[in-house]
Structure 1
Amino acid sequence: MTTMDTILIVNAGSSSVKFQVFAVDGDGRLRRRIKGQVDGIGSRPHLRATGSSGEKLAERVYPIESVGDVPAALQVAADWLRDEQRITPLAVGHRVVHGGPDYDRPVLIDHSVVGRLERYAALAPLHQPHNLAPIRALLEKFPSLPQVACFDTAFHRHHDDIADFYAIPCQLHEDGVRRYGFHGLSYEYIATTLPKVAPDIATGRVIVAHLGSGASMCALLGGRSIESTMGFTALDGLPMGTRPGQIDPGVLLYLISVKGMAPAELQNFLYRDCGLKGLSGISNDMRELQTSKEPEAAFAVEYFAYRVALSAGMLAAALQGVDAFVFTAGIGENSDGIRARIADRLGWLGVALDPSENHRHSLRISRPDTTPVYVVPTDEELMIAQHTLSLLWSQRPSHPARGRAS
């Protein structure tokens, strides 16, 4: 590999395609060169991109008809990268939300892999179809370009059976009905970063709260996931922007049998109309809710903090104690108010924040001689780039697999 080699990372959603470009140095180090996205797919398509120092590289609006779906958005990004940035990647790494029971690690993609992953679209309808759309488009246009799928479920796939089974007939577990957990790329990044930023707690019992529009929590023991708040799908666990989190299955039976909801209607309801949006009736954006004077908004905020604290108790039981707590993702990294609300409910675990350090979004935000609490920014894209590079190196037996960020 030469110092000009690059890896493209793609994270596709329903209305946007986020992408990053990492340069691969001669010694295997990864340097982030470009970060961008094409959003407003089908409404007001917009390409934005910045360079390694945050400088603006692109800011363009496109006609609606020219970017009507995810493959078209990917084509816009690819054309810009090739024609104006002279980027021709060695490989493309993708975030794929659900790997099902088949995949417990990143994998090189072919048509057979895509076929298997399509089976899990119903388990992650907001993500999986859109994750796979650019993969299929690239397979068709560039069949020899290596593509790597990195799964949000993979980091949790080594849980003990007692954590992954549901109390239903075991045959259903064999059929794949089990607790998978999600946001695994984020948790894996935190687990690999803690030895550098907080070595004293990296091998201990750590609760990590990935709090964003999608939210979950994970129990790390010695850097390995042993329990998660999410289960079979990304609906479970904490309340999220538009998803309800933990809910009595009887509620779903009631919505079907009494309220007359059809399966497709119920799916849309659970993924798009619940969570903070449903509770507040105002917004799914925590920033907007925190500044609102409406009592429903205040209730949604307090409910979120309450449920995070409850889940911390569950994970503390799984770990048999807690040595540290880590906040990450959009809300966890940026909202000192939410962190304070959650910490106020965790005094029984020895948690007490230093208000000044919390307000400054410092690395460690807890008071001395209390349970350490950290704010560690996540970097799922770097994790995907490292996995992609490692798989590329593994195809070359004479070279060790490497991939460090500089």
Structure 2
Amino acid sequence: MKALVLTPATRDVSVRELPVPEPSNGEVLIRVHAVALNPVDANYVAHPLAEQEQRVIGTDFAGVVTAVGPDLGSSSDLRAKVGARVAGFHQGACSTNDRPGAFAEYITAPYDLLWAVPDGMTLEAASTVSMCGLTAAQGVFTRLGFPCPFDDQTAPSVDSSTSDVINVLIYSASSSLGLYAAQTVQLAARSFGCKIRLIGTASPSKHEFLRQEPYRYDVLIDYHDPNWVEKVKEATEGKGIDRAVDCISEGETVYKVHDTLNENGKLAVFRGPKGGQYDPTRLRIKPIYGSVWEGLGHEIGYNGITIPANPEARVFATKFFNFLSTAATDGKVKLEPNPVRLMPGGLERIVPDGFALLGSGMLLERSTSRSEDYMRPISGEKLVYRIVDEGK
């Protein structure tokens, strides 16, 4: 099979021929049809964490099960059956310990960390959901304490019985993560009757889109406005933000989002102080940070620290993917996929085109001088590469 392989010592990435992997107990073999790009994919190629001679890169994927592990032959779970359409995510080269990558023609994965893709959803669209969707769910339910409709073990700190409006801010609302964060907040509100005022910051060109289902923002503010912090506070009728999600989590964004919080507010961030280049000691309310990789259930060497295996995070991840999988039987999509920008060229063009668009530094510093339409700046969509046409 072909796979996109990083040589960390030289930072070289190339398409190489590798053996097709074999599924172990609890795993399935997947023919990958589509992969979606995330900023970490590009960042940890330009600035490798990996210490091995070679690593298959990539996180988000969707495809079709072609074989199952020795212990799954009699499983009744849809995701453990040959022919099942599934999606999930790997860690790729985003660690020091050797973790599987998704940018290959075939991959293996634990079946319970996959979700069954409904017939009405393309695999290209499904490839955009898994990592950012779980990241949003961890932030909104586990860290910010919204009541969770698929995990009654997650202790909520948001009181859904109160008559008070909960002021929620999502910074960078049109980002991939922002689109899922809004949906998870609305899911909590709909499932438990929480009264929320959803406030987002985004470019004005995205405001009309974000007012619609399934995001349904109440207030949208241009984050280029130098007074956006004050305008957010005004939108809360002077009460300040109760719960905030900073989808960029870099330097000034952390400081400014923090300044919108009231004295009991909470802030979820998705980059630690080192990667996000902010100083928590400057903040009266400490940002709540966690890694989506914890959901994979393994010890992880990451950015100079060792994140221990977290069984509770893995259980939460399996419940999340079980929840998404119910769409395959009841026909009701739980999280709408990001809008897709289908990029040309397959595996061979991920680095020269996709990574060029994503950049390898801070998200707010992205730029490209390319003139092709598919190389326009990213806004409110996910870059997706088709590895093979569905049906093949």
TM-score band by shorter chain is under 0.3
TM-score normalised per structure 2: 0.26
Query: Which structure: greater helix fraction?
Result: 1
Greater relative contact order (Cα < 8 A, sep 6+): 2
Larger Rg: 1
